[in-house]
Structure 1
């Protein structure tokens, strides 16, 4: 995947010393936003919890062909309230995003972070102590490329997803309807 880098990021990356930070967002009902800095950072209208040593992120593989790739990341020092959220809700298939950001000399963001990965979460492994360690696997959206879509564009399917929506209510009447134009 080709990435367009602005001139500011290019100058930061090509300098002699490149401090950097990773941003990771896992979309639970209350999104978990963490970064690899030792302090919390504000970016994109949110505060990203600084975990220090984020844990680990496996190398992100990129393919020139249409092929599904995945990433495995371990987050350490996660607040235990997120463990309760993970145990109480269905999160498999929800978005997982990772960004990389080179930092300025004062260890602050100079330019917009570079998106590295966007995919869907799989089942994580959770170790709980004073804080939690979460190991998450995520797969790119290409994993569902050849999977059949299970949508029926009828009123019952629409009601199961969006109760009260009347967009498909009259579809059965329209199938054999004869319309006389110009009268």
Structure 2
């Protein structure tokens, strides 16, 4: 994938002492921005929250082939806000952007490059008495190649189209095989 990097970022990437951090943007009904850096980061006028929320990002290999690439994200000690968004199903096919930020010797951000962009494929939450962990699989846009375009007949889809409408409130409880006429 072609990229154009600023001169400062090219110098930092080729430096022997490079400090990096992941910046993750979850575009749910509320945009959530997280980082694995030890303090909050502002990049491109957006603030990425640090501290305990962010755990792991899998590695990705570019092949140049038309294939469905996936990446797994792991979050620990997730907030009630994130848990609520996931439990209500507000994550389906939502966009995720992952960047690698580069820092200079003074720990000032030099720039960031796109690491992965895709849509959330699935999410799982595991909780115990001392921790709440969330694992998320994000797939490239090729993952929905066979998806029929248009709206889904669900309450969530209807709410994004017409907030407050109750028309599809019980859509998931309706008989799946409805026959019209005799």
TM-score tier (shorter):
0.7 to 0.9
Partner of 2:155: none
How far apart in 1 are the matches of 2:92 and 2:49? Answer: 22
Partner of 2:126: 127
After TM superposition, the structure 1 = structure 2 runs for residues 22-41 of structure 1, keeping only pairs within 5 Å, are 22-41=22-41
How far apart in 1 are the matches of 2:81 and 2:147? Answer: 34
C-alpha distance 93-100 of structure 1, shift in aligned 2 (>3 A): same
After TM superposition, the structure 1 = structure 2 runs for residues 56-67 of structure 1, keeping only pairs within 5 Å, are 56-67=56-67
Partner of 2:138: 138
Partner of 2:17: 17
Give the CA deviation at 1:89.
3.7
C-alpha distance 15-52 of structure 1, shift in aligned 2 (>3 A): farther
Listed as ranges, the gaps of 5+ residues in structure 1 are: 152-158, 164-183
Q: Confirm or deny that 1:149 pairs with 2:152.
A: no
Bigger radius of gyration, 1 or 2? 1
Give the CA deviation at 1:148.
4.0
After TM superposition, the structure 1 = structure 2 runs for residues 1-183 of structure 1, keeping only pairs within 5 Å, are 1-51=1-51, 54-111=54-111, 113-128=112-127, 132-150=132-150
Q: Decide which structure has greater strand share.
A: 2
* Cα displacement string for residues 75-132 of structure 1 (whole angstroms, at most 9, x for unaligned residues): 2233232112221243110001100011011212123x10111100022111345663
Partner of 1:156: none
* TM-score (norm: length of structure 1): 0.74
Contact 2:72 2:138 in 1 (8 A): yes
The alignment covers a number of residue pairs equal to 155
C-alpha distance 103-68 of structure 1, shift in aligned 2 (>3 A): same
How far apart in 2 are the matches of 1:161 and 1:81? Answer: 19
How far apart in 1 are the matches of 2:65 and 2:8? Answer: 30
Please give the root-mean-square deviation of Cα atoms over the aligned residues, in Å: 2.4
* Cα displacement string for residues 26-46 of structure 1 (whole angstroms, at most 9, x for unaligned residues): 111111210111111112222
How far apart in 2 are the matches of 1:125 and 1:87? Answer: 9
* Cα displacement string for residues 115-155 of structure 1 (whole angstroms, at most 9, x for unaligned residues): 1111000221113456632110010001223444347xxxx
Partner of 1:174: none
How far apart in 1 are the matches of 2:40 and 2:49? Answer: 5
Contact 1:61 1:70 in 2 (8 A): no
* TM-score (norm: length of structure 2): 0.74
